[in-house]
Structure 1
Amino acid sequence: MKQVRKAVFPVAGMGTRFLPATKVVPKEMLPIVDRPLIQYAVDEAIEAGIEQMIFVTGRGKNAIEDHFDIAYELERTMADRGKDVTILDGTRLKPGNAAFVRQQEPLGLGHAIWCARDIVGDEPFAIFLPDEFMLGTPGNGCMKQMVDAYATTGGNLISVLEVPHDQVSSYGVIAPGGRNGAITEVTGLVEKPKVEEAPSNLIISGRYILQPDVMRVLETQAKGAGGEIQLTDAMARMIGTQPFNAVTFDGRRFDCGSHLGYVEANVAVALERSHLADPLRASMRAMLDR
């Protein structure tokens, strides 16, 4: 069983829900306290042992590429002023470990993943949706939990979380089979089902480990929900031909594609910072008491 060495980050979306902030700033560069969303996703990948990061970008996304490059002037200025330059270490990927490919048209998540087919090659690979901010314990992030499970199950894996039944129509949902601890067999997948037709309340939560065969399925995948090529539809066609399981993430998820989720993620991260937690709690109590 091949090791998961590559990860695909589909980051070509326009981020219209966060306009005007995203007019010139990619939504993936919006900060959670002091680090951009995309940095958290890359750090999660590195923690899980992934080596190569593949970014599927679009027009106006150059800031993402620049973020993971060396910044000569900034680093030199900081060093000359006696400031700690090591704070930037995590933003510089090793030479050759970052690849960028363009998705010229917004044809859906499945199409974005397919754009990375030549770089992925014939290897299993991970997918990260940076909007899905997954907050786990240090050393045991969502993808680390999935890679650990993959060593047992092989095949295809997706991360899932339980949501209230009245929210399932906003997500991809699994039809569950047998369960063994945090691992659940996936017998079917439905993209954004009607509440009354949803097979469960276990939603796909933005992390995947897939076999390269999905690229060949995506080549012929018809448009689905929203008139887009859906990754969920392609994965559904693979069920029964390869092992397909879900891992229930032991941690918290924040939908940073929504205003409320983005604010909640900032608060959650700030509360885990020792120098911010107590002042923030006091400030929030004061605001709520007004």
Structure 2
Amino acid sequence: MEELVDSGIEDIILVTKWDKKTLEDHFDQSAELEHSLEESKKLKLLHDIKKISSMANFIYVRQKGPYGNGTPVLSAASIVKDEPFVFAWGDDLVHSKTPFTKKLIENYYRNNAPVIGVQQVPRDDVSKYGIVKLKHGTRQMEHVVEKPTIENAPSNLAQFGRMILTPEIVEILQKTKLGKGGELWVTDAISEYVRGGGVFMVEEVEDGKWLTTGDPLNYLKAMVDYALVRDDIGADFRKHLKGLAL
């Protein structure tokens, strides 16, 4: 959320399911908790709690439709209407000096075209991600393949969950059939858009790295990376790691 807010985003639509009520509560104002912190003179915590609820205008939408990363887009389409918008996946983090969403926005206005975040991955890992092929000599997408085999991967450039989409892509997604695994893939709509002559740019992470938290190992790696740069615990945590008998 901090990345989005630091990039100038004011309205954030959270697409949730029935079991994500705690997520909605996290960004809501809690008068009872604030009063308790004030009474106990825990003013730093009180400031942090108030900051969360006032970061942005949060709008909550329940996800409806088939499983897949394209469904949240359709669930929020009636709110977004005819405007371009940032689509961010909650389990993808970008640890960088400049907010990565800000770089996407700059790319969008520079090229007047939708754009997606990409990062190079080891060749052995291409089957885990959507892999992008670029048009020769450009930063423009030629096509994207969702979770290809190593042999069929067009590159080692993986897309991840930061992109700016347009109403044209939403319209295509509304007509897109279920793809691999019986899921609705936003990459299928992007591929159709590109095949039809649409320009779709990529923005590579240059001053940091993309961290996925979709599995236990990568989740732990991301938490370690973020803990090491925290002002309050970073130095002690680094000392602890160095002292481990590994």
Counterpart of 1:279 in structure 2 is 236
State the secondary structure of the residue aligned to 1:218. Answer: helix
* Alignment-mate amino acid for residue 63 of structure 1: T
Counterpart of 2:51 in structure 1 is 90
Contact 2:29/2:50 (<8 A) preserved: no
Over residues 235-272 of structure 1, what are the superposed CA-to-partner deviations in whole Å (9 max), with x where a residue is unaligned?
A: 11111433211000121122111111111111111111
Over residues 135-166 of structure 1, what are the superposed CA-to-partner deviations in whole Å (9 max), with x where a residue is unaligned?
A: 111xx111111112222112110000000111
> Where does 1:59-70 land on structure 2 (aligned, <5 Å)?
59-70=18-29
Contact 1:145/1:249 (<8 A) preserved: no
- Regions of 4+ moved over 3 Å: none
Identity %: 32
Counterpart of 2:96 in structure 1 is 136
Over residues 24-77 of structure 1, what are the superposed CA-to-partner deviations in whole Å (9 max), with x where a residue is unaligned?
A: xxxxxxxxxxxxxxxxxx111111111211111111111111111111011011
> Where does 1:50-199 land on structure 2 (aligned, <5 Å)?
50-84=9-43, 85-93=46-54, 97-137=57-97, 140-179=98-137, 184-199=139-154
Does 1:267 pair with 2:224? yes
Does 1:246 pair with 2:205? no
* Alignment-mate amino acid for residue 253 of structure 1: W
State the secondary structure of the residue aligned to 1:82. Answer: coil
Does 1:45 pair with 2:4? yes
Give me the TM-score of the superposition, normalised by structure 1: 0.79
Over residues 192-232 of structure 1, what are the superposed CA-to-partner deviations in whole Å (9 max), with x where a residue is unaligned?
A: 11111111110012100011112211111111111101110
* Alignment-mate amino acid for residue 158 of structure 1: I
> Aligned residue pairs: how many?
242
Contact 1:156/1:242 (<8 A) preserved: no
CA RMSD of aligned residues (A): 1.6
* Distance of 1:241 and 1:89 partners within structure 2: 47
* Alignment-mate amino acid for residue 247 of structure 1: E
Runs of at least 5 residues in structure 1 that lack an aligned partner in the other structure? 1-41
* Distance of 2:55 and 2:117 partners within structure 1: 27
Residues 101 and 275 (structure 1), Cα distance of their counterparts in 2 relative to 1, 3 Å cut: closer
Give me the TM-score of the superposition, normalised by structure 2: 0.93
Residues 74 and 179 (structure 1), Cα distance of their counterparts in 2 relative to 1, 3 Å cut: farther
Q: 1:227 aligns with which of 160, 182, 186?
A: 182
Q: 1:208 aligns with which of 163, 169, 183?
A: 163
Contact 2:15/2:63 (<8 A) preserved: yes
* Distance of 2:199 and 2:50 partners within structure 1: 38
* Distance of 1:206 and 1:223 partners within structure 2: 19
Residues 179 and 50 (structure 1), Cα distance of their counterparts in 2 relative to 1, 3 Å cut: farther
Cα displacement (A) at 1:282: 2.0
Cα displacement (A) at 1:106: 4.6
